[in-house]
Structure 1
Amino acid sequence: MRWEGNRQSDNVEDRRGEGGGMGGGGGFGFGGRSIGIGTIVIALIGGWIFGINPLTIIGMLSGGGGAPAVQQQQGPAKAPPASDKGASFVSTVLASTEDAWNQVFRENNAQYRAPRLVLFRGYTPTACGTGQSAMGPFYCPGDQKVYLDMDFFDTLERQLGAPGEFARAYVVAHEVGHHVQNLMGLTDKVDAMRGRVSQSQQNALSVRLELQADCFAGIWANKSNQAKNWLENGDIESAMNAAAKIGDDALQKKSQGYVVPDSFTHGSSAQRQRWFMQGYKTGSIQACDTFNAQSL
């Protein structure tokens, strides 16, 4: 991926010198309910892999109404140092998502509002609750920010077997895809169904939300490559490998030896690959309508 020398986004906030360590007893509480380690593990698996906010998952599993709001940090946001190559990489990818989605929204007679990307270590306050490194990357609709501890990229490569810069770019683009869904009102519609449908139905809605974010990541790949011609041989294969490694079926087989489709929250490996490629091949937001698709 030939990313160096391209524009970097100004919408990057560096909190990496401000966090570190657990505080306040190291527990979660939602609506007066304490959250057990089993719930946290499920949430981390669901949110760890490019998914919806793990804090939302915890709220769903605990029977609460989602994560509580917390007071946001005050003072001006600090930009990452220019000498930080990893930060320069994600800043460049974020800039490319801004360009791509500005184009798509203009083509659909709408205006795009870009999210901020927050780099942190340890933990950090968000409008969705306290974000922790162990949760992996996530998007918070409450403050329209993507949160990322870049140590996750090492996990992606070493523990999940998904190396490559384009696999890392896919992480960022997927989370920005959730921001696009939020701007379109889709996130609120899915959240509104919580408590009104069964758990398996809620899981099915979550799968469609996640697969659409994968499709939106494919649109970004299409548009950014048209503009920059920066993809190299093996980049798309890198994304396909990442999708294969983090499909619900692959994760369940690895962790428990069998698959429970009704418990899927992100989609199978094949589904994640299919929808990313749908977005990449078409570059069309209309082609990413997972909610009305008869077959995923």
Structure 2
Amino acid sequence: MTFNPNADVSNNTARRRGRTAAIAGGGIGIGAIAVMLISAFTGVDLTGLLGGGSPGGSTGSSQGTVIENCETGQDANENDDCRIAAASLALDQFWDENLNGYVKPSLTIVDGSTPTQCGTASNAVGPFYCPPEQGVYLDPTFFQILRQQFGASAGNLSQLYILAHEYGHHVQNLMGTMEAYPNNGTGPMSNGVRMELQADCYAGAWVGAMTEQEDASGQPYLKAPTEQELTDAINAAMVVGDDHIQQQSGFVNPESFTHGTSEQRARWFATGYKYGLGQCDAFATDDL
């Protein structure tokens, strides 16, 4: 378990939006998974490349609906949707304490797919942050794809790492990092790679401090991570390394990197976890 069972997570503001997806049934091939993982943790809609469904049918209200059966830490331990919704409370508290002027992002739990200002959100595209909306989108069935078709562990803490990474992009947006270091193409030293590695470091820093966030009664939301949970989180970071993804097609091209290697992603997460936010400036070093 990751959450303290008695923690009160009922006041989360996450909302569910979307429709049933077509991907969950027959599965998708390795090539499509590679496209999906390349797009993971970005705001780029690659659904069309996967042959997946574009937004259609009923998408519900623009605000979405509340996440049901998400009242306690025990609920969060047992349900992916609630786990993500509950983690937003601890993440918002952490960043409110560490960033002056912090503004909470919206968090949308995607049910299949839903339109956004950054393209279609779905399990095919993967989790992403949409800067114009200051919103994070995540379809929890994405974790099943990682487990079943790509061999990732995608355990509880891995899921929280993925969410924390997206919150890291929100912080970069608030701090002006995205504006100061615009996209300058691809490659191992590109701004895109630096942006992703910094978000990994931010996620690690939160995991290192996550037992400090408490509900209204003083109950910590989360327990200290075990070694196995940390291993699982690092595994999730490594799975979405550029080199690991490209190896599935048999050819690794560093000049096309957009997220960093598996080793880099794991190392920057570990750096944040061990040393905190002060060591997360990926734009001030050439030792990536």
Determine whether 1:249 maps to 2:243. Answer: yes
SS in structure 1 at match of 2:124: helix
Contact 2:157 2:230 in 1 (8 A): yes
SS in structure 1 at match of 2:67: coil
Structure 1 segments, 4+ long, off by >6 Å, are none
User: Which 5+ residue runs of structure 2 have no aligned equivalent?
Assistant: 23-31, 48-58, 214-219
- Structure 1 residues 21 and 157: CA distance shift in structure 2, 3 A: closer
Equivalent residues, number? 252
**Cα separation, 1, equivalents of 2:122 and 2:66:** 20
Q: 1:71-82 counterparts in 2 under 5 A?
A: 76-82=63-69
- Structure 1 residues 189 and 42: CA distance shift in structure 2, 3 A: farther
**Cα separation, 1, equivalents of 2:13 and 2:161:** 18
Provide the residue aligned with 1:28 in structure 2. none
Determine whether 1:240 maps to 2:234. Answer: yes
For normalisation by structure 1, the TM-score amounts to 0.76
Q: 1:42-191 counterparts in 2 under 5 A?
A: 44-48=36-40, 51-55=41-45, 76-82=63-69, 85-105=79-99, 110-163=100-153, 164-191=155-182
- Structure 1 residues 7 and 180: CA distance shift in structure 2, 3 A: farther
Contact 2:189 2:286 in 1 (8 A): no
- Structure 1 residues 281 and 77: CA distance shift in structure 2, 3 A: same
**Cα separation, 2, equivalents of 1:179 and 1:44:** 21
Aligned sequence identity (%): 35
How far the C-alpha of 1:147 sits from its partner, in A, is 0.7
**Cα separation, 2, equivalents of 1:148 and 1:80:** 13
CA RMSD of aligned residues (A): 2.8
- Structure 1 residues 268 and 42: CA distance shift in structure 2, 3 A: same
User: Which 5+ residue runs of structure 1 have no aligned equivalent?
Assistant: 23-39, 59-71
**Cα separation, 1, equivalents of 2:64 and 2:33:** 31
